[in-house]
Structure 1
Amino acid sequence: MNNYDKVKKSFGKQAEKFAAYHMSKVEYTDYLIGRINAEGNEHTLEVAAGTCICGRALAPYVKDVICLDLTEEMLEQGKKLAEKNHIQNISFVIGNAMKLPYDDGSFDLVITRLSLHHFTEPQKLFGEMQRVLKNGGKLVVWDMEAAAEELRESDDAIEKMRDDSHTRILSREEFVLLYQDEFDLQVKETTLVPVNLQSWMELTDTPVDIQKHIVELMTADINGGVKTGFEPYWKEGQIWFDHRWLLLIGVKK
């Protein structure tokens, strides 16, 4: 099974639960809106949009939004939520983020959230988003930041156990390098996002035996054993960890 098929299978299963998961909380989308600081006239594209969490949040602050994703089930959930909230300046497109069906310089604002670690060629994805962005437009990437170098392999291995569509989390340095030549990088901020381990595994319907193994690894880490890269901790009798979300906003030169 290639990675496109893995992504469609994984997110097809997640679709109904995804929008209610902690990663869509208003506090995070409010933070994003504030940092983007849209002017109101932006023609906007959300790439690998899923249920279009960012696009739906941004819609009142921009001219219009197109949400593009590979997985039909995710887009259907996004449509339902947009209709429920009476968002009218939004559209949903099934498409491949690696070959965006738009002309060069089509958009004022392009955004992707928690997507690059599902692509085998994240540089190519970034290049496509850069291509369809106008000069002077903003390219927003909001994604997980890799653990310390010595723990990256363990971190990625556990992410892949939980969801086999995962590929590799980029480091802060690798993200910044993507922007280096063609952008003025205006925002580079990391936010710690608390994650309940059990809910995180249940979102992807991780098999019970694999869940048990991940719990064992996390428990050993907490008790002073082999480090996982997650820095897990106990909270109210359950295991939690903090994902590192890195927000980058660059203006295309």
Structure 2
Amino acid sequence: MKHNETVKQSFKKQAEKFATYHMAKAEYTDYLVKQIGTKGTEHALEVAAGTCICGRALAPFVKDMICLDLTEEMLAQGKKLAEESRIKNIYFQTGNAEELPYESETFDLVITRLSFHHFDDPQKPFQEMKRVMKKGGKLVVWDMEAAEETLRTVDDKIEKMRDPSHTRILSREEFEKMFEKDFTLQCEETTLVPVNLKSWMELTDTPEDVQKEITELMKTELSGGSKTGFSPYKKESQIMFDHRWLLLIGIKN
């Protein structure tokens, strides 16, 4: 429960800025909708939905969409934006991904995005998402993919410095292992998402001294020093890096 409070406090701060951050760009949500290929008849659920970026994008293409998140402030932003877009078939519920408040085999489509690196025990929410899915339904996981093995520790350390609710980024192999027993993978694709270092830290209200420390680590790598796992680069005098987003779509056996 202590970690859940850390998550809630972190995302409470991010709520207003989160929906307009680069992660909400239409090019990413359009790509996601296309890859999922809905029929329009699905009962859908977004888990750890935040401001329901995916849920709002998918709602016009499914029968109904429930967005569940731990942080009420994030859901409130999602609800406000859904109302502004006149989305009628979307519903919002406060809840924990580790104990989903739904009957088994309820949903045709379950999606979660950028959530697993905030979970203490990734297996718990994964098993819960599997439980509430109908056989033949689609589970969509879109999350960051870990840096190469030798740099994972320092990569996670920097992520946690920036956001204390961060736990650990999973590798492609770890995600595949979760899916392998009960799902047939239909899609497995990596997208490089460019991120501005300063904007990334400002989103989470990272303290100034910590921002400086992280920036120095990036500058050190840029000048040929120790690697961070971020592979930073300069663009128009700004420090940038690419997050690796791994999209997995599995059909429940």
- TM-score tier after normalising by the smaller chain length: over 0.9
| 1:191 counterpart residue number | 191
Shift in Å, 1:122? 0.5
Q: Within the alignment, does 1:49 sit opposite 2:49 as a pair? A: yes
Deviations 1:203-252 (A, max 9, x none): 00000000000000000011110000000001101100000000000000
Deviations 1:123-154 (A, max 9, x none): 11100000000000000000000000000001
Shift in Å, 1:161? 0.1
Deviations 1:47-85 (A, max 9, x none): 000000000000010000000000000000000000000
Runs of 4 or more above 3 Å deviation = none
Task: Give the TM-score normalised by the residue count of structure 2.
Answer: 0.99
The runs of 5 or more residues in structure 2 that have no matched partner are none
Deviations 1:160-203 (A, max 9, x none): 00000000000000000000010000100000000000000000
Q: Within the alignment, does 1:200 sit opposite 2:197 as a pair? A: no
| 1:76 counterpart residue number | 76
Q: Which amino acid aligns with 2:183?
A: F
How many residue pairs end up in the alignment? 253
Distance 2:64 2:152 in 1: 38
| 2:149 counterpart residue number | 149
Q: Which amino acid aligns with 2:135?
A: N
The runs of 5 or more residues in structure 1 that have no matched partner are none
Pairing of 1:52-201 with structure 2 (within 5 A): 52-201=52-201
Distance 1:72 1:152 in 2: 32
Q: Within the alignment, does 1:16 sit opposite 2:16 as a pair? A: yes
Shift in Å, 1:2? 1.6
Distance 1:223 1:181 in 2: 45
Distance 2:70 2:157 in 1: 24
RMSD: 0.6
Task: Give the TM-score normalised by the residue count of structure 1.
Answer: 0.99
Question: SS of 1:215's equivalent?
Answer: helix
